Structure 1
Amino acid sequence: MRSNTPSLAPGFTLFPSLKPPHTTLFFHQIFVLILTFLAYASFHASRKPPSIVKSVLGPTVQTDSTSNNTGWAPFNGPEGTHRLGELDLAFLTSYAIGMYFAGHVGDRIDLRLFLVFGMMGSGILTIIFGFGYWFDVHLLGYFIGVQVICGVFQSIGWPCVVSVVGNWFGKEKRGLIMGVWTSHTSVGNIIGSVVASGVLEFGWGWSFLVPGILIIVVGILVFCFLVVSPDDLGFEMMSSGKEIEMCVGEENVANLEKVESEEAGLLENKDSDSLAAIGFLEAWRLPAVAGVHLSHKTAGILSTIFDIGGVLGGVLAGFISDVIDARAVTSVTFLLLSIPALILYRIYGSVSMVTNIGLMFLSGLLVNGPYSLITTAVAADLGTQDLIKGNSRALATVTAIIDGTGSVGAALGPLLAGYISTRGWNSVFLMLIFAIFFASIFLVRVAKTEIGRMVSEGKELGSSVTAS
């Protein structure tokens, strides 16, 4: 239980016309989706600068004899690539550890204030990292320290936004709704890449300053207008499997769908393992995959193609999982298809810019599909099921466990890629293929359960039709 009742956002005091009965339930559902979408998109936008400026900070192969870029100590030496990988490891390790605590805390305090706290801290730490440019900082400890603290603040975002959205939407069509909503990850990556690349020519510090200011501005909007739960405005959740309705002087009757404990346990294991593998794809895209024939700005913008594919992949996976009512089957299918897509990208990605873009788009679609599905719809299903007596306040903790465990893999991915890449990029792609393959293996048991259920339901339907 939370220790205190969340206060209504101050924006509703300034604009009372936003309260019921002047506004409808549907209006507030859309408003919450948009606001949380912007919030987490800004989180991801503020994470992109390190990957964009790596080509400027680290050791580079000079293709232009007139270029004055010599890197930035301590990242421009022989061990520069490894040190850049250590920055990723520092951030993602603290992010993974912080995620477990963030979910626990988020279930006990006002999610709106906690989310704003995370956004403000992330923005300030992102700006402080950029100060290293203007203050001519060359201490590795400075950059690692900033990344560690920033990772803790960043870990607050995901459990909060998923918990808020889970409070406002029932299980019906949750896969499709969250499939569309979770495109904030890709949209944030695109915005962060474009913004950081666009100002990189003025100095790499600007690539941190602008995204840092962006998340602070969005944090102010969240503080003023985010409503954590429909209860705060007089709406109540009828059940975890039904739509939210307006209740006037009537007591809600819980009509929760039963979820078997064995399947729920399997789903929880599934989420952790598959997320770890999916996070690895960031390894080959972020550090230095962009060829030396591309400018830093062009390479940064080109990387957004992966995220654009991810937007469609999240929507498609969510829609398919709703239609067939099988999250694991959908995830396994996408993961297995991503393996040949990855192989094709490695073989034919350098043939032309068109094939590079097309195959990168396809890879983003297939990899981000299950990622979006697992971190949103599945997490929301687990956090609002009958086993925890419909207590949606446990949703932040469930989401934190899933995303936090996945972040362990994301922390290891860039570090491993930094070392394995010294043996050639074929080795890196092989690592990714094995990671995705094992992720799909971990999902097989849950997928078999879902297939068995669908077959059983099909037989029952056929019998009822025959009898009638």
Structure 2
Amino acid sequence: MALPGSLRRQPAGRGLVSHCTHHHIVVFLLTFFSYSLLHASRKTFSNVKVSISSQWTPSCLNSTAPELRPYELWNSSHLFPNAEEATLFLGTLDTIFLFSYAVGLFVSGIVGDRLNLRWVLSFGMCSSALVVFFFGTLTEWLHFYNKWFYCCLWVVNGLLQSTGWPCVVAVMGNWFGKAGRGFVFGLWSACASVGNILGAFLASCVLKYGYEYAFLVTASVQFAGGVIVFFGLLTSPKEVGLPELGADEDGSVEEDANRPLMSNDDADDDDRNYSIQATDTDNQPKAIGFFQACCLPGVILYSLAYACLKLVNYSFFFWLPFYLSNNFGWKEAEADQLSIWYDVGGIIGGTIQGLISDVLQKRAPVLAISLLFAVGSLFGYSRSPNSKPINAVIMAITGFFIGGPSNMISSAISADLGRQDLVKGSSEALATVTGIVDGTGSIGAAVGQYLVSLIQENLGWMWVFYFFILMTSSTILFISPLIVREMRLLLHERRLRMLAE
């Protein structure tokens, strides 16, 4: 008995290995490190919050600061009367950044589908590097402190940094098909965690000279990366004469290997050529519309789920070093280095869970199981003792079960959504769909950062973790229809295989 096309699974790495060239490797590395550098500059801000807070408050309130005379000269330019108000403003800056980042993602996805992805990405990296330099380095060198100026710079920085993710996901989606996509994108999506580690490392190395040098180093490296991307990145295989995805001469085998997971498995295989747009390989396909992309199956549900999950993930990203210093009294540089273990767990989690989803050819059940464990790990981490080794282990486990699903939704699943059957032949849907998913997630993360600061100030850190547990549970709730659908498909495929044997 012949199996339906949807059940003729290819080995996870077969299509990937047989069609991998040195161009694929270069694209993987350039997109990986370009987004790593963007995240490194964001991580720098979160890692130097204690130093910035001290600089923005009068030295008489900082027990570790030397007493300098005359008092008026050294304290007249400070922004806040105490550290609590400075901390609240830092949380507000996080919220401002994420809101502008979210708005920018919706726009950048549309722009990326209509302009050259390399130009958009390079412009965003170089311009953002200049803004980070102005924010953290130039203002300190000039001793210029102004809340409205900081807010304006961080709005611009959020808009510029939003060009990164839709562009790199779209480029990766152009080069890597369904075969092994979960594993490849799971490994590649570690770029954010690697960027966090790089940012924490650079900040901890130069923080003793002043927080302005942490911004200087990361901004310089990011600007250099933007220049390299401009001259070295290939946005699609056709730029070097390679066939685009689905256009290989291997016929139905390659078509099946590149068919996305989000396709309608219940449809007849003979109707696979249906698409919203005509698939004329001689013409450049038109970009999909914004509202048309929103109506694609799974986009809204995954976007809402990612809003809850990114809130938790980015709260760890923005507040973990501060929490370790504030709650346990550890030195800022030690807290920066210890926070790396959360990202290590996210790297391993995204890769392993992506590989498992490749084997099952279903994403939602893998996400659900991981998020259930994430609830338990959050509860355990909230009760971590004042021990660095134990804290690091629980932190890595938490990163595995939270960072892993977050990486999957923002990369592999976004690529699946942008390459489902309804938009087959339109790679220009990738950046738009990615912008919608990540933009909605960033709105949730933006609201979350302000809520975290309010909850912590009024109720304490324990209630912050209860809030994280609630948001993680909400993530499972939003994707529950997809979980049910994919579990039914798994059971249906299993019955067909049993009949075939």
* Corresponding position of 2:78: 73
- Distance in 1 between residues matched to 2:255 and 2:179, nearest whole Å: 15
* Change in 2 beyond 3 A, CA 1:452/1:62: farther
Moved over 3 A (4+): 59-73, 244-247, 253-258, 261-266
- Aligned residues between the structures: 434
For the residue of structure 1 that corresponds to 2:243, the secondary structure is strand
Structure 1 pair 238–47 and aligned structure 2 pair: CA distance change class (3 A): closer
Task: Determine which of 381, 397, 405 is the counterpart of 2:432.
Answer: 397
Instruction: Find the aligned partners of 2:300 and 2:454 in 1 and give their Cα distance.
Output: 29
Secondary structure at the residue paired with 2:48? helix
Once the two structures are TM-superposed, the CA of residue 291 in structure 1 deviates from its matched residue by: 2.9
Question: How far off is 1:371 after superposition?
Answer: 0.7
Q: Equivalent of 1:159, from 157, 166, 173?
A: 166
Between the aligned partners of 1:237 and 1:396, the Cα distance in structure 2 is 17
* Residues 172-225 of structure 1, C-alpha deviations (whole Å, 9 max, x = no match): 110000000111110000000110122111111111111101111111111111
1:272 equivalent in alignment to 2:303: yes
Q: 1:166 to 1:262 in 2, by over 3 A?
A: same
**Where does 1:26-425 land on structure 2 (aligned, <5 Å)?**
26-58=21-53, 65-68=63-66, 73-75=78-80, 77=82, 78-130=84-136, 131-239=138-246, 245=248, 257=259, 259-260=263-264, 265-281=296-312, 282-284=314-316, 286-287=318-319, 288-292=322-326, 293-347=329-383, 349-422=384-457, 423-425=459-461
Letter of the aligned partner of 1:87 in structure 2? L
Question: Secondary structure, in 3 states, of the residue corresponding to 2:469?
Answer: helix
Say if 1:64 and 1:91 are closer, same or farther in 2 by CA, change over 3 A: closer
Instruction: Give me the whole-angstrom Cα distance separating, in 2, the residues matched to 1:41 and 1:203.
Output: 23
More displaced stretch, 286-295 vs 85-94: 286-295
| TM-align CA RMSD | 2.6
Change (3 A) 1:164 1:357: same
Q: Report the equivalent of 1:435.
A: 471
Q: Give the C-alpha shift of residue 290 in structure 1.
A: 1.3
CA shift in 2, pair 1:234/1:62, >3 Å: farther
Cα contact 1:266–1:446 (8 A) shared by 2: no
Rounded to whole Å, the distance in 1 between the matches of 2:125 and 2:49 is 24
Q: Is the contact between residue 284 and residue 417 of structure 1 (CA under 8 Å) also seen in structure 2?
A: no
Assess if the C-alpha contact under 8 Å between 1:175 and 1:373 holds in 2.
yes
State the distance in 1 between where 2:61 and 2:205 align. 21
For the Cα contact (< 8 Å) 1:58–1:76, is it kept in 2? no
Q: Distance in 2 between matches of 1:309 and 1:62?
A: 40
Larger mean Cα displacement after TM superposition, 273-282 or 313-322? 273-282
1:309-358 superposed Cα distances (whole Å, 9 cap, x missing partner): 111011011111111111111111111110110111111x2242111000
Structure 1: how far apart are the matches of 2:377 and 2:60?
A: 31
Could you list the per-position Cα deviations for residues 126-165 of structure 1 after superposition, in whole angstroms to 9, with x for gaps in the alignment?
A: 1111212111122101111110000000000000000001
What is the rounded CA distance, in whole Å, between the counterparts of 1:285 and 1:384 in structure 2?
30
The change in CA–CA distance for 1:68 and 1:401 in structure 2 (over 3 A counts) is: farther
* Equivalent residue letter for 1:274: A
* Aligned AA (1:291): S
Percent of residue pairs identical: 35
Structure 1 unmatched runs, 5+ = 1-23
